[in-house]
């Protein structure tokens, strides 16, 4: 801030008082203008940050919905295979007959587990340029909670998502089915159950994060699907 003081001759105390008051008012005006400009800058930065985070979280939510829809389709196939195996076993069919049914429905045996990609770029940028500090407290709390949920999901996917499944054994069964080899029906059912349990677990985690994002974005809760 730079002020150019007028060069005038002060001939009385009254002139000095006027001159002094003019200087004070000029300084206060300049400070007020500077503060207003800074506030406007901060408000605009906060608005841009919120707009970007809102858009990014909506895209994350859409990605979760798409992944859940794909996982539901895979789960439906595995549940159908599970139902077929249980029915054959209850009916007392031989291992050869059950194998025939398994091979006839081998296309149902697949774990096309779909995990969403959740972006956090908008939050990271807002933290880096400090604009996150200018977002009002209630909104900041919502966005912080949303991105925390997204990061927790990413960590769960990386470390815990497939703990319940025997991956190498699943590959063995896939190889046997592709080459027309017989499989042990009960062991095969165990593998199918591992796969369905893994998808149920994944869907539960995705549903939890989806509900949190919807709440943080101010959207109504997702209605449960009708059975």
- Determine the Cα–Cα distance for residues 145 and 164; give it in Å rounded to an integer: 28
- Tokens 């194998």 -> residue: 99
User: Which residues touch 119 (CB under 8 Å, ≥6 apart)?
Assistant: 56, 59, 60
- Of 77, 61, 152, the closest CA to residue 113 belongs to 77
Is pLDDT at 87 greater than 50 in this prediction?
yes
- In terms of Cβ atoms closer than 10 Å to its own Cβ (0-12, 13-18, 19+), residue 220 is exposed
Q: What digits encode the pLDDT tens for the residues 190-201?
A: 999 999 999 999
| Amino acid 1: pLDDT | 47
Distance separating alpha carbons of residues 127 and 53, to the nearest angstrom: 11
- Please, are residues 63 and 118 in contact by the beta-carbon 8 Å criterion? yes
Looking at the predicted structure, is the pLDDT value of residue 134 above 90? no
**pLDDT at position 153:** 94
Cα–Cα distance measured from residue 98 to residue 181, given in angstroms and rounded to the nearest whole number:
13
pLDDT tens-place string over residues 95-120: 999 999 999 999 999 988 999 999 99
Which pLDDT does position 46 carry in this prediction? 87
DSSP 140-178: HHHHHHHHHHHHHHHHHHHHTTTTTS-HHHHHHHHHHHH
Cα 144 from Cα 218, distance rounded (Å): 14
Element of type H or E holding 80? helix 13-90
- What angle, 0 to 180 degrees and rounded to 10, lies between the N-to-C axes of helices 185-216 and 95-104? 40
Specify the length of the chain in residues: 227
Residues near 181 by beta carbon (within 8 Å), at least 6 away in sequence: 175
Over the stretch 161-183, which tens digit does the pLDDT of each residue have? 888 899 999 999 999 999 999 99
Residue 57's Cβ-side half-sphere holds a number of Cα atoms within 13 Å equal to 29
Task: Name the residue among 60, 36, 62 with its Cα closest to residue 121.
Answer: 60
């Amino acid at each position: 801030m730079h002020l150019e003081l007028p060069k005038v001759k002060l001939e009385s105390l009254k002139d000095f008082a006027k001159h002094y008051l003019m200087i004070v008012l000029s300084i206060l005006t300049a400070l007020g203008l500077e503060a207003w400009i800074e506030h406007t800058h901060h408000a605009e930065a906060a608005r841009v940050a919120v707009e970007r985070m809102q858009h990014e979280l909506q895209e994350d939510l859409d990605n979760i919905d798409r992944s859940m829809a794909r996982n539901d389709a895979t789960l439906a196939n595995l549940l159908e295979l599970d139902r077929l195996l249980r029915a054959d076993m209850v009916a007392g069919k031989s291992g050869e007959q059950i194998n025939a049914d398994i091979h006839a429905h081998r296309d149902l045996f697949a774990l096309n587990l779909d995990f969403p990609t959740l972006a956090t770029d908008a939050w990271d940028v807002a933290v880096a340029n400090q604009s996150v500090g200018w977002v009002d407290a209630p909104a900041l709390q919502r966005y912080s909670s949303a991105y925390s949920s997204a990061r927790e999901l990413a960590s769960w996917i990386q470390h815990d998502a497939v703990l319940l499944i025997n991956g190498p054994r699943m590959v063995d069964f896939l190889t046997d089915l592709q080459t027309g080899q017989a499989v042990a029906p009960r062991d095969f059912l165990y593998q199918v159950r591992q796969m369905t349990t893994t998808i149920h677990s994944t869907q539960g985690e995705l549903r939890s994060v989806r509900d949190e994002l919807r709440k943080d974005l101010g959207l109504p809760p997702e209605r449960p699907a009708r059975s």
